[in-house]
Amino acid sequence: MSRKYFGTDGIRGPVGQTPITAEFVLKLGWAAGKAFCPEGGGTILIGKDTRNSGYILESALEAGLASAGVNVLLLGPMPTPAVAYLTRAVSAQAGIVISASHNPYSDNGIKFFSSDGEKLPDSMELTIEALLEAPMTTVPSAVLGRAKRLDDAVGRYIEFCKNTVDKNLSLKGLKLVVDCAHGAAYKIAPAVFKELGAEVIAIGCEPDGLNINEGFGATSPDALSAAVVSSQADVGIALDGDADRLIMVDHTGAVVDGDELLLVIARNEQRAGRLKGGVVGTKMSNHGLALTLEAHDIPFVRADVGDRFVLAELNARGWSLGGESSGHILCLDQTTTGDGIVSALQVLQALKADDQSLAMLKSEMTKLPQVMINVRDVDRELIEAEPLKAAVANVEEKLAGTGRVLLRASGTEPLVRVMVEGEVAEQVQGFAEQLAERLRAL
């Protein structure tokens, strides 16, 4: 069955437009309460990022859940992976995150975690959608749900993050610039790295409800690069608005993407004898990652784009490490979902273990030139149009087996991504622009 509201990462859209309205989210809270706690009772956590709209959506969810007879634990601003962890830690029936991740402040969304701290299977999303079509009822007053705050949520999650690395790891001697995108991790991330001994310069840590992801964070790393160079820091760490994504910067100011970070973590895990199986990437992962892992006898497979597909592939194979070029990295030996802080700690642990710079560790991998163009305001169904397929086939013929073409409709934004990869940078750029123009023309 197709889903009406759920996309690849929960329900997302512009605030004030269905489904991101107070009215809809009230009903969504009720439907989720009925789905997770059909007999009433139980507890569901709610965390959010720093968007101004989080207040109204939090209140609507709380009212909907209480109407279904479900108790609520409010976490306040909290990274998405923290909600996943805390849901397990307090034995709640589910966790809900109010966030649109890397999108601008004008968007927001609702994401769910099961009691195991994992993203929902399709069957549960379909159950919630079916309940959205049913009449909303309210349980008797005596059994209405109640809400309270989990006061020690921040401290619990900081300790969890610190415990994902070797107990004797010290970051003393490292100067880090930590960019939190004015998002959910603005208090937590600097504290984690400081408590492990690093000198921390925090940027993007002044949220005002409207500036999330604006000029800072994993999708805008220029500010981080400049800060690393100007402060002569060893490493820069950039999270996105809900801190499930990680991009880093080496001491020269060069950006280190998710593919390169996966390699650094995988090689360190391999040397320590901790790597389970191989690594799962996606169809967007640079072919240089596949070649480098193969050279080190580390198996590599590609999943569809989206961390839920990477997770499914990891679980199917019994592996623990995977991720996307965009910086969603899954370390399943440490946690159940993508976690920017935990992933950064694994990279820093590799730096300490090898006593090498991030620039040196990432140099094992030679990336093939890859260009991705986001084409906005086009019909996403056009990627199946015959004229576009013919244009793609023409480019693939010219690449002659030395590169790849991928067209993909985004699951979280109204756009189509055009990706071309090959051996010659100028040729790759030209092909990508040709395909993007052909898509716009259609």
User: Tens digits of per-residue pLDDT, 132-151?
Assistant: 999 999 999 999 999 999 99
Here the CATH number for the domain that contains residue 393 is 3.30.310.50
Question: Region 151-164: what's the mean pLDDT?
Answer: 98
Q: Which SS3 state, helix, strand or coil, does residue 415 take?
A: strand
E strands, 38-184, where?
A: 43-48, 71-77, 94-98, 107-114, 147-149, 175-179
DSSP class of 302: E
Residue at 76 is within a domain: yes
Tell me what pLDDT residue 3 has: 84
Output Rg (C-alpha) for the chain, integer angstroms. Answer: 22
* Residue finishing a domain among 320, 335, 362: 362
**9 band by pLDDT with thresholds 50, 70 and 90:** confident
Residue at 1 is within a domain: no
Q: Are 386 and 422 found together in one domain? A: yes
Instruction: Dig out the tokens for 179 from the structure.
Output: 């960019």
Tell me what pLDDT residue 88 has: 98
Residue predicted with more confidence, 380 or 119? 119
Question: Of the residues 53, 67, 101, 343, which is catalytic?
Answer: 101
Residue at 428 is within a domain: yes
Here the CATH number for the domain that contains residue 217 is 3.40.120.10
Catalytic (active site) residue 101: yes
Q: Are 144 and 169 found together in one domain? A: no
Helices H, strands E: what count in the chain?
A: 14, 18
Whether the CB-CB separation of 402 and 267 falls below 8 Å is answered with no
Rounded to an integer, what distance in angstroms lies between the CA atom of residue 327 and that of residue 343? 9
Tell me what pLDDT residue 382 has: 84
Residue predicted with more confidence, 44 or 306? 44
Question: Region 109-125: what's the mean pLDDT?
Answer: 96
**377 band by pLDDT with thresholds 50, 70 and 90:** confident
Helix H or strand E encompassing 14:
strand 11-14
Tell me what pLDDT residue 414 has: 76
Q: Which of 119-123, 324-328, 414-418 has the lowest mean pLDDT?
A: 414-418
Whether the CB-CB separation of 442 and 382 falls below 8 Å is answered with yes
For the purposes of burial, counting CB atoms within 10 Å of the CB of 23, is it exposed (0-12), middle (13-18) or buried (19 or more)? Answer: exposed
Residue at 135 is within a domain: yes
Residue at 326 is within a domain: yes
Q: Are 135 and 93 found together in one domain? A: yes
Rounded to an integer, what distance in angstroms lies between the CA atom of residue 305 and that of residue 283? 6
Whether the CB-CB separation of 45 and 75 falls below 8 Å is answered with yes
Cα end-to-end distance, the chain, whole Å: 29
Tell me what pLDDT residue 374 has: 93
* Residue finishing a domain among 333, 362, 391: 362
Question: Region 392-418: what's the mean pLDDT?
Answer: 87
Whether the CB-CB separation of 305 and 324 falls below 8 Å is answered with yes
Q: Are 143 and 165 found together in one domain? A: no
Average pLDDT of the chain is 96
Q: Can you give the residue range of the structural domain that contains 399?
A: 370-441
pLDDT reading at 413 higher than 80? no
Q: Are 247 and 346 found together in one domain? A: yes
Tell me what pLDDT residue 356 has: 96
Q: Are 281 and 418 found together in one domain? A: no
Whether the CB-CB separation of 201 and 233 falls below 8 Å is answered with yes
Q: Are 354 and 388 found together in one domain? A: no
Q: Are 351 and 407 found together in one domain? A: no
Question: Residue 125 phi/psi, 5° resolution?
Answer: -60, -40
36: left (phi over 0), alpha (psi -120 to 50) or beta: alpha
Full strand arrangement of the beta sheet holding 415-421: 370-376, 415-421, 404-409
Query: Percentage of the chain surpassing pLDDT 90?
Result: 92
Residue at 92 is within a domain: yes
Q: Are 161 and 140 found together in one domain? A: no
244-269 pLDDT, tens digit per residue, is: 999 999 999 999 999 999 999 999 99
pLDDT reading at 1 higher than 60? no
Tell me what pLDDT residue 403 has: 87
* Residue finishing a domain among 102, 123, 151: 151
Q: Are 279 and 230 found together in one domain? A: yes
Rounded to an integer, what distance in angstroms lies between the CA atom of residue 128 and that of residue 29? 9
Residue at 2 is within a domain: no
Q: Are 352 and 280 found together in one domain? A: yes
Q: How many domains does the chain have?
A: 3
Rounded to an integer, what distance in angstroms lies between the CA atom of residue 367 and that of residue 293? 12
Residue at 316 is within a domain: yes
Q: Are 308 and 374 found together in one domain? A: no
